[in-house]
């Protein structure tokens, strides 16, 4: 029943932009933080960005600070990741997930998230 679906990926040239969308259903959306994670070929999944459930506090990996912006719409049950100035190293499958209610400290930890959906592929290449 709980579902989070990432979409909006595609092929973009270096320096370009994309906006990813996370559509959520089956739970009280504003009870949970939302995180964006990515997994590049041959690499482990890593945290990209996260946003708190209500306060709007945001968190970013050092590699994307100043380039990516996370947001959410608690009326539409959606979260977004605006990605600007994309680099080849941003190429990955991007996933969104909900943060567990018991999550205490690290908004960027995979261990504090659940209900992973299918990701969306972002390819940055010339």
Q: Would you state the structure tokens that stand for residue 109, as one six-digit string? A: 């930890």
- Dump pLDDT digits (tens) for 41-77: 999 999 999 999 988 899 999 999 999 999 999 999 9
Average of pLDDT values for 20-30? 97
CB burial string 76-107: b at 16+ within 10 A, e below: ebbbbbebeebeeebbbbbbbbbbeeebeeeb
For 1, half-sphere exposure in the C-beta direction (CA atoms, 13 angstrom radius) is 4
- Dump pLDDT digits (tens) for 103-113: 778 999 999 99
Compute φ and ψ for 57, nearest 5 degrees: -60, 140
């Amino acid at each position: 029943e709980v579902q989070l679906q990432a979409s909006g990926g595609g092929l973009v040239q270096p320096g370009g932009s994309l906006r990813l969308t996370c559509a959520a259903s089956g739970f009280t959306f504003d009870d949970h933080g939302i995180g964006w994670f990515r997994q590049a070929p041959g690499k482990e999944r890593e945290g990209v960005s996260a946003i708190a459930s209500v306060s709007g506090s945001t968190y970013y990996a050092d590699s994307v600070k100043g380039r990516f912006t996370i947001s959410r719409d608690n009326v539409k049950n959606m979260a977004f990741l605006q990605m600007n100035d994309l680099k080849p190293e941003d190429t990955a499958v991007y996933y969104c997930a909900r943060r567990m209610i018991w999550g205490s400290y690290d908004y960027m930890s995979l261990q504090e998230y659940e209900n992973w959906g299918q990701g969306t592929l972002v390819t940055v290449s010339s």
